[in-house]
Structure 1
Amino acid sequence: MRVAFVSLTTAHHGDGWYARRLQAVAERVAARGHDVTVCCVQWWDGDHPAFDSEGVTYRRVTADHAPRAFVAKLPFVLDGVRPDVIHVATRPHLAVPAAKAAGRLRRTPVVAGWWASPDDGTPPWRRRLAARSPARVLVPSNTVGTTVRECGAADDAIEVIPDSVDVAGIRDAPVDPRADVVYARSLDAGANVEGFLLALAELRGKDWRAAVIGDGPARADAERAARDLRIDDRVEFLGALDPADQVPILKGAHVVAQTATWAPFATSLLRALACGCVGVVEYQADSAAHELVEEDPRGSLVTSPRELADEIVAAADLERWTVNEAYASYDHEAVLDRYVDCYETVVADYGFL
């Protein structure tokens, strides 16, 4: 099967969550033996229109970051790729109807990966057009699905395909017992690490060690907060770690806390849960983290740092695990099956109709 991914930017341009997700999916689809092309803004050197990396062909739509030109040229580039299915990111939103126009000429179905936040400043009509144009709208969580539904997508067009982690690798990884409680996420404006630290400050009289995994512009403020709360000697800021380096620390911890105010899907939380951590999530309206623990008998939802502290204490009564097989369905291969099944279904449906 020939699959064309469409994204203005990729993980080669920057370290955005959606860009990393799209690259990972594209590379795994290619590893399955499918012919994969990513149509994007050029990120490689030279004048050649395409570049191969990790089994994926990246094809230039524009040389510069110019959304209008990207949308205008996209149908012509897709016509040259001749894919069986088009998977387009909703940034910019008008790339979705542009891909739909190209697909209509060749009777090629389009699925859209919802790549936008509710407050990204896009005019409502563009959001509606992006939501209504494709055969499927793929979202990472029910929280994002609600946003897409509010933009006009039909219920039967929305399909939840979560992010994935290397559950097979987690089973074989060693254990690093340096921390009892962990927080893991990019430390950006939505990280809300302070909520985690406030909960730990409530437990000064308890015996615990904590680790914060992640880096970003909010790290300095978080480290300052730990000093102000006089718990900096018990909280280790580890910076950004590759998933493989995170896993031993997560397997050695007993509790993972998630307090972020924004998360289309809490991948780092998922990794910790698969490593056997007890999950405690502070509910936030713009975060999907709660979806991972709602059905987990070991997990819990809280609404304040005080409640978070109480649940950390309560978790001490639960057995320590180093893997949780309940999250095996989030393994890379299992989630990839869902993408491939979606592509095959829309191709079959399009041909039938």
Structure 2
Amino acid sequence: MHVAFVSFETVHHRDTETNQQFRTVLEILSERGHDVHCYCAGFWAGDGSTLEQDGITYHAVSTGLDARSSFYLRLPFVLAAANPDVIHAAAQPPGQILAARWGATLARAPLLVEWYGDGGIDDTRWTRLATGRPDRIVTPSELVGTWVRELGADGDIVETISNPIDLELIRDVEPGEEVDVIYARRLDDGANLESLLLALAELRDRDWSATVVGDGPERETYERLTRDLRIEDRVTFLGNLTLEDRIAVYRGAHIFVQTAEHCVFPTEMLWALAAGCVGIVEYHANSSAHELVEGWNRGFRTTSEAELGEAILAAGDLERREFDDRFADYDRSSVAERYLELYRALLEDRGIL
């Protein structure tokens, strides 16, 4: 299948969670042998208008991020000339959805929009206009789907497709050192690691060990808090680790705790759960993490430090695992098939398949 992806900004311009996820979608479809093209602002040196990289063909619709208007004006005609089977656009900036809609009309191709929502969704006139243009909208969680519907999107066109993980990679990584509790996230002002540290401090008379994976501007503050709570000898800060090293830590851990206040999809938690961890989520209105553990006998949802401590004790009674096949539907191959099924449905609706 020939798929034209549209993203004015890519991970090569700015390394954000949204841009990383969009690249992942390109990668999982390219891995399955599909003809994947990305129409974006140019990010490479030289005069060439295209760049082949990792099975993906990048097309410079504009010369750089300063030429947004040029990108919007040229995009419909570039897409029409490309004649793709499906057009798959990122949601930000919303102007590119409007331009992609014109391109889809000219190319007679369905338009799907990836609405990731990291950093929230701005309620602007352009965003509301954009919600009415796609044939389908894909969000990473029910939380983001709700945000998009509140902006005016037709609920019948909103689909949830979660971020993928690689189960084969998890199996291939040797488990690391055993640890009771693990937390993993960038340590910024939204990490809310203090909830976990306060809960652990209330359990100081119990035998436990905890590991924190990740770095960020608040790391020193959290390390100081462990000293103030007199638990610094039982909490280890590992900083940033490679994916393989994180998986090793998860396979050796018993319980993964998610307390972040904002999370459109808890990818690190998913890696940990598939690596055998019990999952504990502190509920927050702007986090979708609870969606992963609802209705699961190895998952707990809490709303306070006291409940969090009780959940850690209860989770400690569950068996240790190094892998959990319950999460097979989140594997890269399964997620790629979800997108392909959606593409086929859109083409069938148009009588093309």
Q: Same fold (TM over 0.5)?
A: yes
Shift of the 248–107 alpha-carbon distance from structure 1 to 2, 3 Å rule, reads same
Residue of structure 2 equivalent to 1:69? 70
Residue of structure 1 equivalent to 2:47? 47
In structure 1, distance between residues paired with 2:221 and 2:301: 25
Deviations for 1:73-113, whole angstroms, at most 9, x for unmatched residues?
Answer: 32233233321111101100121121011110121110000
Residue of structure 2 equivalent to 1:116? 117
In structure 2, distance between residues paired with 1:238 and 1:314: 26
User: Once the 2 structures are TM-superposed, how far is the Cα of residue 277 of structure 1 from its aligned partner?
Assistant: 0.7
User: Once the 2 structures are TM-superposed, how far is the Cα of residue 121 of structure 1 from its aligned partner?
Assistant: 4.1
Give 5+ residue unaligned stretches, structure 1.
Answer: none
Shift of the 194–73 alpha-carbon distance from structure 1 to 2, 3 Å rule, reads farther
Judge conservation of contact 2:116–2:144 (CA < 8 Å) in 1. no
Shift of the 214–350 alpha-carbon distance from structure 1 to 2, 3 Å rule, reads farther
Shift of the 237–14 alpha-carbon distance from structure 1 to 2, 3 Å rule, reads farther
| TM-score normalised by L of structure 1 | 0.95
Residue of structure 1 equivalent to 2:93? 92
In structure 2, distance between residues paired with 1:251 and 1:117: 27
The one-letter code matched in structure 1 to 2:209 is R
The one-letter code matched in structure 2 to 1:41 is A
Residue of structure 2 equivalent to 1:343? 343
Identity, in percent, stands at 45
Deviations for 1:257-312, whole angstroms, at most 9, x for unmatched residues?
Answer: 00011111000011111111110100000110000000211111001122111111
| TM-score normalised by L of structure 2 | 0.95
In structure 1, distance between residues paired with 2:305 and 2:299: 16
Residue of structure 2 equivalent to 1:11? 11
- Work out the number of aligned pairs and report it: 352
- Could you say what secondary structure the match of 2:97 adopts? helix
In structure 2, distance between residues paired with 1:93 and 1:162: 22
In structure 2, distance between residues paired with 1:161 and 1:289: 14
- Could you say what secondary structure the match of 1:180 adopts? strand
Shift of the 78–188 alpha-carbon distance from structure 1 to 2, 3 Å rule, reads farther
Query: Which moved further from structure 2: 300-309 or 137-146?
Result: 300-309
The one-letter code matched in structure 2 to 1:9 is E
Residue of structure 1 equivalent to 2:169? 169
In structure 2, distance between residues paired with 1:314 and 1:345: 44
The one-letter code matched in structure 2 to 1:43 is F
Residue of structure 1 equivalent to 2:79? 78
Residue of structure 1 equivalent to 2:156? 156
- Could you say what secondary structure the match of 1:98 adopts? helix
1:218-237 matched pairs, under 5 angstroms: 218-237=218-237
Judge conservation of contact 1:178–1:209 (CA < 8 Å) in 2. no
Shift of the 328–226 alpha-carbon distance from structure 1 to 2, 3 Å rule, reads same
Residue of structure 2 equivalent to 1:21? 21
The one-letter code matched in structure 2 to 1:59 is H
In structure 2, distance between residues paired with 1:282 and 1:315: 14
Judge conservation of contact 1:293–1:300 (CA < 8 Å) in 2. yes
Shift of the 227–298 alpha-carbon distance from structure 1 to 2, 3 Å rule, reads same
Shift of the 232–61 alpha-carbon distance from structure 1 to 2, 3 Å rule, reads farther
> What is the root-mean-square deviation of aligned Cα atoms in Å?
1.8
Residue of structure 2 equivalent to 1:210? 210
Shift of the 88–192 alpha-carbon distance from structure 1 to 2, 3 Å rule, reads same
Judge conservation of contact 1:75–1:101 (CA < 8 Å) in 2. yes
In structure 1, distance between residues paired with 2:119 and 2:32: 34
Query: Which moved further from structure 2: 237-246 or 51-60?
Result: 237-246
Residue of structure 1 equivalent to 2:2? 2
The one-letter code matched in structure 2 to 1:182 is I
Deviations for 1:24-54, whole angstroms, at most 9, x for unmatched residues?
Answer: 1101211211111111122211221111110
User: Once the 2 structures are TM-superposed, how far is the Cα of residue 117 of structure 1 from its aligned partner?
Assistant: 5.0
Query: Which moved further from structure 2: 284-293 or 6-15?
Result: 6-15
Give 5+ residue unaligned stretches, structure 2.
Answer: none
User: Once the 2 structures are TM-superposed, how far is the Cα of residue 246 of structure 1 from its aligned partner?
Assistant: 1.0
User: Once the 2 structures are TM-superposed, how far is the Cα of residue 224 of structure 1 from its aligned partner?
Assistant: 2.6
